[in-house]
Copies of this chain bind each other. A is one copy, B any other.
Amino acid sequence: MSTIEMIEAAATRLQGHARLTPMLTSPFLDDIGGRQVLVKPECLQHTGSFKFRGAWSALTHLDPEVRARGVLAYSSGNHAQGVAMAAKLLGTRAVIIMPSDAPQLKIENTRALGADVVLYERGVEAREDIGERLSRDQGLTLIRPYDEPLVIAGQGTCGLEIAEQAAALGVTSGDVLACCGGGGLTSGIALALEKHAPGMRARPVEPENYDDVTRSLVSGKRETNATEAGGLCDAILTPSPGKLTFPILSRLSGPGIVVTEDEALHAMALAYLRLKIVAEPGGAVALAAALFHSDELEGDAVVAVISGGNADSAIFHKALEKYV
A interface list, Cβ under 8 A from B = 16, 19-22, 24-25, 27-28, 41, 43-44, 46, 48, 85, 88, 105, 112-113, 168, 272-273, 275-279, 309-310, 313, 316-317, 320, 324
List the 7 shortest-distance A-B pairs measured between CB atoms, nearest first: A276-B309, A276-B278, A43-B276, A313-B324, A48-B276, A22-B22, A313-B320
Residues of B contacting A278 in the complex (Cβ-Cβ under 8 angstroms): 272, 276-278
What are 17 pairs between A and B in contact, CB < 8 Å?
A19-B22, A19-B24, A21-B22, A22-B44, A24-B44, A27-B85, A27-B88, A28-B112, A41-B276, A43-B276, A105-B273, A272-B278, A276-B279, A276-B310, A313-B324, A317-B317, A317-B320
A317–B322 Cα distance when bound, in Å, is 13
Shortest distance from the beta carbon of A308 to any chain B beta carbon, whole Å: 9
Q: So how many copies of this chain end up in the complex?
A: 2
A276–B22 Cα distance when bound, in Å, is 14
Which residue of chain B lies nearest to A45 when distances are taken between CB atoms in the complex?
B276
A309–B41 Cα distance when bound, in Å, is 16
A317–B19 Cα distance when bound, in Å, is 28
Shortest distance from the beta carbon of A49 to any chain B beta carbon, whole Å: 9
CB distance A16 to B168 under 8 Å? yes
Known: A44-B22, A44-B275, A276-B48. A316 touches B320 (CB 8 A): yes
Partner of A22, one of B20, B85, B324: B20
A25–B19 Cα distance when bound, in Å, is 10
Given contact pairs A19-B22, A43-B276, a sample of 17 additional A-B residue pairs in the complex whose CB atoms are under 8 Å apart: A16-B168, A19-B24, A24-B44, A25-B46, A27-B85, A27-B113, A28-B112, A41-B276, A44-B275, A44-B276, A272-B278, A276-B278, A276-B279, A277-B278, A278-B278, A317-B317, A317-B320
A46–B169 Cα distance when bound, in Å, is 14
Which residue of chain B lies nearest to A44 when distances are taken between CB atoms in the complex?
B276
Residues of B contacting A21 in the complex (Cβ-Cβ under 8 angstroms): 22
A43–B22 Cα distance when bound, in Å, is 13
Shortest distance from the beta carbon of A287 to any chain B beta carbon, whole Å: 14
Which residue of chain B lies nearest to A19 when distances are taken between CB atoms in the complex?
B22
